Amino acid sequence: MKYRRFLPLFVTQFMGAFNDNLFKNATILLAVFEILHDPHQEEKFTAIASAVYILPFFLFSALGGQLADSMDKAKIIRIVKLAEIGIMAVGAVGLVLGNIYVLVFVLFLMGTHSSFFGPTKYAILPQHLERDEVLGGTSMVEAGTYVAILLGTMVAGVVKPWHAAVLVMLTAIVGVVSAWNVPPALPEKGAPQPAMDYHLLRSSWSLISRTMHVPRLYWTIVAISFFVAEVSIMGVVFAPMVKNILGADNFVATLMLVVFTVGVAVGAVLINAILKGKVSAKYAPLSAIAMALFLMVMYWTLAYWPAPTAARLIGWRAFVAQPSSYVLFAELFLVAIAGGMFVVPLYAFLTTTVDKSEAARTVAANNIVTSGAGVLAVLSFVSIQRFLTIPQAFLVISATCLASTWFVQKLHEACD
């Protein structure tokens, strides 16, 4: 953290993650708790918002990966952060006006912004860090990201929309300042430069086919895709769960998200400590099984949660006064810790098992596949949600966790 080769990048990605989640959660909470007043409409909106945010990763990640491997990654970061100021200016207008259509459009622009920043962010680490620092650096980035998510989620839950509008603009400006201090990261000397292909679908398919034929990358990307699918479905049901199952307000929704994000950050740091900096999928199968078990327990807790009796949604003080609330918090926290332990080594695999000159395109290929998995998971869930209760959704997520166990076990066997 004290070196310029890491600190400015960390601050830049931290502010970006904070801004993304401040805006995204402010949008969802505004829609669910103030604009929409129908449970099915609320779930549909959160699903659409999630899909719109994820879709650009599928469309533009290949282009972002090609650019990151062919030019100075620090320059790309600066350009992307400048674009964030314009995007957040439009988002600020949408928040002040409470216009759902503007807000959804900005979510798409945010996803586009992140689809260019993501491959660059991860691919720059092997260039600026030593090999035995990459897992630690990746863990710090992931932990920092989830702390930023935590703070963005907390702030979104307690400020008024116009306050959020001011904050997203200020945060974007801070991100630009920190981006200008990221050291140069030029393409590797002597490495063949990728031929730019601006045809979005063709370049995406070409990038996926070149990456997925490598067994260790195939198993890694499929395993991460399962994780993204699980988190995407959880994102759809989270706010409606708090409102319609727990009978609680948006502050409780924020508190639940805080518990989840802290848990993932703890898991990210914990797995780095256990592995002592070695990139390994050794504990990923156990982490997936743990996630599945804790999600099953959450199903039972939610399925037998007493039906809300109050005419109004209860606040956080009344909610935490219930002993059963701490049981739910503990279950969610354990799910999140297992999730952090599961996914962090997988991201480290992406950037350490390929040549540095190909790292950005490898991350981009991962983003294309995982974003497609996220969109498919959300759309599939929306198509069957009328046949499921919200507690049963956690059983669906648990089943995907168990399925991912096989893939990470294959990765462990292939690489460790």
Cα–Cα distance measured from residue 105 to residue 244, given in angstroms and rounded to the nearest whole number: 27
- Render pLDDT for 378-398 as a digit per residue (tens, 0 to 9): 777 777 767 788 888 888 889
- pLDDT-derived band of residue 37, with 50, 70 and 90 as boundaries? low
Those residues with Cβ within 8 angstroms of residue 84's Cβ, 6 or more apart along the chain or in another chain: 16, 19, 113, 172, 175, 176
Can you tell me the mean pLDDT for 277-290? 84
At residue 195, does pLDDT exceed 80?
no
Distances (CA, A) of 268 to 156, 336, 340: 24, 10, 5
**145 alpha carbon, distance to own chain's centre:** 8
State the amino acid at position 364 in one-letter form.
A
Task: Categorise residue 164: left if φ over 0, alpha if ψ from -120 to 50, beta otherwise.
Answer: alpha
User: Mean pLDDT of all residues in the chain?
Assistant: 83
Can you tell me the mean pLDDT for 98-110? 89
Structure tokens at 332: 């969610």
- CATH number belonging to domain 7-182+203-415: 1.20.1250.20
Token pair 């504990």 is found at: 283
- Per-residue b/e over 294-318, b at no fewer than 16 CB within 10 Å? bbbbbbebbeebeeeeeeebbebee
Q: Quote the Cα angle for 182-185-186, to 5°.
A: 145
The DSSP bridge partners found for residue 248 are 314
pTM beyond 0.75, yes or no: no
